[in-house]
Amino acid sequence: MRRIRECEESLVEPINKGEVRTPCHLYSGQEAVAAGILACFKAKDNVFGTHRSHGHFLAKGGTMRQILAEIFCRETGCAKGRGGSMHLVDPEKGMLGAAPIVGGTISLALGAALAAHIRGNKAVSAAFFGDGATGEGAIYESLNFAALHKLPMLFVCENNLYATHMPIRACRNNDCIARIAEPFNIKTFRIDGNDVLEVLKAAEEAVALCRAGKGPVFIECLTYRLRGHVGPDDAIQGIHTDIRPAEELSAWREKDPIVRFEKYLLAGQLLSLKELAAIKRKVQAEVADALAFARRSPRPAPRDLEKYVCK
Amino acid sequence: MSANRRLSYSLAINEALHQCMAADKDVFLIGQGVKSPWYVGNTAQGLLKRFGEKRVIDTPVSENAMTGAAVGAAIAGMRAVIEHPRVDFMLYAIDPIINEAANWHYMSGGRSNCPVVIWGIINRGGEQAAQHSQALHAMFAHIPGLKVVMPSTPYDAKGLMVAAIRDNNPVVFLDDRWLYRDEEAVPTKIFSVPIGKAAVRRRGKDLTIVACSYMARESVKAAAELAKQGVDAEVIDLRSVKPLDKAAILRSVKKTGRLLIADGGWKSFGISAEICAVVAEAGVKLKRPPVRLCLPDCPAPASMSLEKVYYKHCADIVKSTQKLLK
């Protein structure tokens, strides 16, 4: 969680200065979801993400250098500067990809689960998506098919209460998203997505069910993004478009998943303040190194424009 | 028997699927109606019994997610064939085909790829009207990252299906129900037809007919008619719409100086326009302006009286050459 947070916050200045131009949908505030779910994943398990997938990439084992170089659109990035912030990929680590067509990767994760089902290798696949994606038809098609074949798949909805600028109640007549899986007889969790231990507990149970051939599982994580929909504060074109009430934002800041987990660690004497500070310093050094790496890396050469159209 | 064994176009596809699935356990078939001849003719016969329900998957009516699942499985390392009993139904799946599959290799910087065959069956005539009849090859050929193949013969139907399955990129495989009963000698062993290579179906010196799929078969028939009239036509069967075998087209047109393009798609912004542009850009001097015989820019009608003037066949090709030979 700390690695994700420091990565995201390190991008605020480069975005505001125009040094980073690729649209960055920062994950600050939602770290407990990626960290909790993917702590239960092995290397063979697969993940598909969305436009807001910096956290999924890092939690699935992607390196800080590769993600930041990609966000700086450099040849050394995880997608060689061809994908940018919204197409993070690391196939060797099981981060099969991310894409910003809302709901578009849910069926891709369904396919990865189908591949595991055909091969019988007990790999689990996860689709991460937001509350906005539940407006797309493909999710219902995917839920039905996954349930029909008992596929080893986690549908992980990160309900951050806003589809871009639209509050959930302006998009849905029912704000309990978990209920969409019930008609398909899918095991469902609705949990506090800012409590990493609660996420971990649900994920452990869900992954075990999938490996036992009792998938799929739907997990709705209630969470909140502390930054804008895109960019630090949704003001990239000079207009402040974040319409979320200030009191709502500050209430959610109180529920910051990292602060809460640190309190838990301190209360249980699992880690000391000193040790937490050391972790933070270490992560900040990792981020500083990766930022320097990204900045000194070359951009893709113009002569390579059409490389990678076909394999 | 093997050298001269005759096989129908549809059974040639079936044989390709059998042999590819037997050769590679990562190959699987998913799609609407793969259990039912009503949807897929005999192209899928015997597959379910031989390879089981895990690798031959009939689906709910969910084109978008089923195509996405094929794409996702391919990204996860399988070789998926997603079948659509009509090209029209595939339009629900444009997002996984165009946004995801076609772009996947590029937007991952070559780290990942998507070996999926998107198999759409063109099923026209029979008063089926506008949503059961469309041939949309030009639309798919417009998209970088997609390959588009359209076999016109049983030999190519088998060889291109094998090539499509073995290809490391998304390939749109479009076959035509009007060709399903055509028969010819097809080798029993597994073989592939190279994607991106046209075939010269008949050599001739007076004019070039460029066509694909059903219209290529009709063009071969038309060339035989023309021969009786003393006209020596060359027929280029594209086989692959994309990549387009520009060299084969240019070589022929440079020789004959006359070009007729016969396409089973609409005229405007279609492959006939693309081929004209290829010839024009290459600076080939034509003896007559090129002629395009395509579907009119009009949805497919239902009534037989309208279908008769809408669809083009051998006789229309013969007639269209008159303008070139004046």
Q: Which DSSP string do the residues of A39-62 spell out, in sequence order?
A: TT--TTSEEEE-SS-HHHHHHTT-
**How far apart (Å, rounded) are the C-alpha atoms in residues A40 and A19?**
36
Is the model's pLDDT at B13 over the cut of 70? Answer: yes
Assess B93–A contact: CB distance below 8 Å, yes or no: no
| Per-residue pLDDT, B248 | 98
SS3 letters across A240-299? CCCCCCHHHHHHHHCCCHHHHHHHHHHHCCCCCHHHHHHHHHHHHHHHHHHHHHHHHCCC
Name B214's Cβ contacts closer than 8 Å, sequence gap at least 6.
B122, B152, B176, B178, B179, B264
Instruction: Provide the pairing of β-strand B199-202 with B233-237.
Output: antiparallel
- % of chain A beyond a pLDDT of 90: 91
How many CA atoms, within 13 angstroms, populate the side-chain half-sphere of residue B229?
Answer: 13
Is the model's pLDDT at A238 over the cut of 80? Answer: no
Residues facing B219 on adjacent strands? none
**How far apart (Å, rounded) are the C-alpha atoms in residues B239 and B157?**
9
Contact predicate B65/A184, CB 8 Å? no
Nearest to A118 among B78, B111, B113 (CB): B78
A216: preceding bond cis by omega (within 30 degrees):
yes
Task: State whether B73 and A115 contact (CB < 8 Å).
Answer: yes
For B166-211, what is each residue's pLDDT tens digit? 999 999 999 999 999 999 999 999 999 999 999 999 999 999 999 9
Contacts of A87 in chain B (CB under 8 A): 107-108
Q: Token pair for residue A35?
A: 């960290």
Would you place residue B303 in the very low, low, confident or very high pLDDT band (cuts 50, 70, 90)? very high
Catalytic status, residue B137: no
Contacts of A90 in chain B (CB under 8 A): 111
Contact predicate B190/B12, CB 8 Å? no
Mean pLDDT for B299-311 is 96
Mean pLDDT for A139-158 is 98
**How far apart (Å, rounded) are the C-alpha atoms in residues B221 and B245?**
22
Task: State whether A46 and B95 contact (CB < 8 Å).
Answer: no
Would you place residue A236 in the very low, low, confident or very high pLDDT band (cuts 50, 70, 90)? low
Contacts of A116 in chain B (CB under 8 A): 76
**How far apart (Å, rounded) are the C-alpha atoms in residues A218 and B307?**
50
Contacts of A108 in chain B (CB under 8 A): 68-69, 71-72, 75, 96, 100
| Per-residue pLDDT, B326 | 80
**Phi, psi angle pair for A121, to nearest 5°:** -100, 5
For A85-108, what is each residue's pLDDT tens digit? 999 999 999 999 999 999 999 999
Name B9's Cβ contacts closer than 8 Å, sequence gap at least 6.
B151, B153, B154, B157, B175, B179, B180, B181, B182, B183
* Burial environment of residue A273 by CB neighbours within 10 A (0 to 12, 13 to 18, 19 or more): exposed
Task: State whether B65 and A78 contact (CB < 8 Å).
Answer: no
How high is the mean pLDDT of chain B?
A: 96
| Per-residue pLDDT, A233 | 84
Which of B15, B18, B63, B137 does the annotation list as catalytic?
B63
Q: Which DSSP string do the residues of A108-133 spell out, in sequence order?
A: HHHHHHHHHHHHT----EEEEEEGGG
For B25-39, what is each residue's pLDDT tens digit? 999 999 999 998 888
In total, the C-beta contacts within 8 angstroms joining chain A to chain B are: 150
Catalytic status, residue B132: yes
Q: Token pair for residue A86?
A: 């919204």
Sheet holding B27-31, edge to edge: B56-58, B27-31, B79-84, B116-122, B171-176, B147-149, B240-242
How distant is the Cα of B127 from the closest Cα of chain A, in angstroms? 31
How distant is the Cα of A115 from the closest Cα of chain B, in angstroms? 5
Lowest mean pLDDT among A54-58, B51-55, B131-135: B131-135
Q: Token pair for residue A10?
A: 């390190």
Contact predicate B293/B262, CB 8 Å? yes
**How far apart (Å, rounded) are the C-alpha atoms in residues A47 and A247?**
34
| Per-residue pLDDT, B175 | 97
Name B139's Cβ contacts closer than 8 Å, sequence gap at least 6.
none
Contact predicate A226/A249, CB 8 Å? yes
| CA distance between the termini of chain B | 47
**How far apart (Å, rounded) are the C-alpha atoms in residues A80 and B100?**
18
* A2-297 is a CATH 3.30.70.141 domain: no
**How far apart (Å, rounded) are the C-alpha atoms in residues B93 and B71?**
11
Contact predicate A80/A87, CB 8 Å? no
pTM above 0.90, yes or no: yes
A302: preceding bond cis by omega (within 30 degrees):
no
Contact predicate B7/B191, CB 8 Å? no
What is residue B220's DSSP assignment?
Answer: H
Element spanning B71, H or E = helix B63-75
| Per-residue pLDDT, A240 | 74
For A104-135, what is each residue's pLDDT tens digit? 999 999 999 999 999 999 999 999 999 999 99
B148 vs B3, residue with greater confidence: B148
For B75-120, what is each residue's pLDDT tens digit? 999 999 999 999 999 999 999 999 999 999 999 999 999 999 999 9
Which of B84, B132, B137, B307 does the annotation list as catalytic?
B132
Domains, chain B, in order of start with CATH, read 6-185 (3.40.50.970), 199-325 (3.40.50.920)
How high is the mean pLDDT of chain A?
A: 95
SS3 letters across A183-236? HHCCEEEEEECCCHHHHHHHHHHHHHHHHCCCCCEEEEEECCCCCCCCCCCCCC
**How far apart (Å, rounded) are the C-alpha atoms in residues B228 and B232?**
9
| Per-residue pLDDT, B112 | 97
